[in-house]
Structure 1
């Protein structure tokens, strides 16, 4: 098995995302199953690592619960992924046959979820990321839910800082039909004006009955939020923190309402408690400086709502 060359700026996040999803999928009490994550991880690592009794350490990711930093990362993925899966299920049950995933990365929902016949999943990301994903999918086993089957998967190569709306429309997106929008692991990398422009662009393409799901942080994390003794963990945390921007300027309920969406808000900590998972140190509610990872959904009403 040979590894693939990772695009600049993508490799680290792609690898740890695949690792976390593969790790959760191996648990007997897993909250979701993503068989493609293990396949991606094997190809990215250049070895059959996902079938071992314990996953080997890859960067900050490790499978022995020895790292407070990785315990937080893996809990974050475990808490947020089922939330986004559920929003897709709700939206398609309500009649949406378009799912649009912004900054899709290695998202495999078009392949792993039981979506209604005729659903088109649009995956927006940069060309290098989409090329990497295509190669990863080509290296894995064939899937009956692949393009040409009952669910279409349409890739849209564009930077979200550019005119992504036009590129999406050119790819066959139908703005007159309800859509489920996913912005998973994205908004924390944008500042407030960038977030506003993104949500305005989504709203302009959202027919009544559309649904959106997002996550972002109540504040930028600090290096001392998690007790770390491993220098490699400290370096990884410094790298992640350096990538963060402010995200939206308001909590999600206010932000969604201001842009004409009916909001419903929870957070990663609450979802972990609901699933009877232990809370990592960072998500403990009684911290001196609380840290919340919001998980928010919004519905586009049949009639416009007043901005709040």
Structure 2
């Protein structure tokens, strides 16, 4: 028996987000030959995004294109998706475990009376026998979950599945389907404008390399050496809650139990003691490098590599050496 999977595709600044390609890979991992994997794009002026997405192995792309969907509004997005879901009747819905995905997935699951699993980091098996792995208790343990019946709603943690490769042939015009959308007459909320504070060139949750600072950076200016190192490495800058609470940086950079959960290839912790709340947000990083002048700092217990020293001496030296190596 064939199944239908639907990817809710996210985009930002005119580009398909990396986590969408990872969610597509997750769906492909558990699919069988003959299964249909489709995607849906919501927003305004979606033609260029549809063109980008059409280069990947999908059966079809559904466009819900309306100016009222330009900015994410959970009430409007759910209202736009439900008629499409009623028509397609997908067996499973995949999206990223992002701010949008964490908000939208439970609402869709409630509407469909579907089972939901959030923050999935790996998969085993395929079809209805698929097993989903999740980290729990701030990454101290892992659990395996299995759905008892369709439909499913699944969010996947960024940077845990490889992004799917483009297909050899793109979709035809008749495989890109425009879906009619009529805004409800009485939305409880209306998003007029989104003002985004610039926090770096690279999205923190999707960054392969993160240079993160804690209270040890001592001031807002203390983040400048970290920003320089991140720029050289093509990475992003993060922070502990302590640094954010001290006013050294914006809370949009916060990593930890009450901030963002990240899983980069390399995580460089500068002046971070290693409180359990911070470890909850980064302990699944592939390689952890800790720089701290306190040799007893808890961060060294989880670090793959440790440097005991003053970050204001160590970080500029690292930046200088990486700059030479990467020329």
Which range, TM-score by smaller chain? 0.3 to 0.5
Q: TM-score, normalization: structure 1?
A: 0.35
Write 1 or 2 for the structure with the bigger share of helix.
1
Higher relative contact order (CA 8 A, sep 6+): 1
Q: TM-score, normalization: structure 2?
A: 0.34
